[in-house]
Amino acid sequence: MQGLQRLLAATDASEHGLRAVVTAAACARRSGASLDVVSVLETRLLPFAIKATDYHEKFGEEL
10-residue stretch averages of pLDDT, the chain, 63 residues long = 66 72 80 74 58 59 49
Which pLDDT score is estimated for 63? 42
Please check whether residue 11 is in contact with residue 40, taking contact to mean a CB–CB distance below 8 angstroms: yes
- Is 10 within a domain? yes
Range of the domain at 11: 6-59
Structural domain count, the chain? 1
- Is 37 within a domain? yes
- Is 48 within a domain? yes
- Is 43 within a domain? yes
pTM: 0.44
Residue 9 CB neighbour total at 10 angstroms? 19
Residue 25: φ, ψ to 5°: -65, -40
**Pairwise CA distance, residues 28 & 20, whole Å:** 12
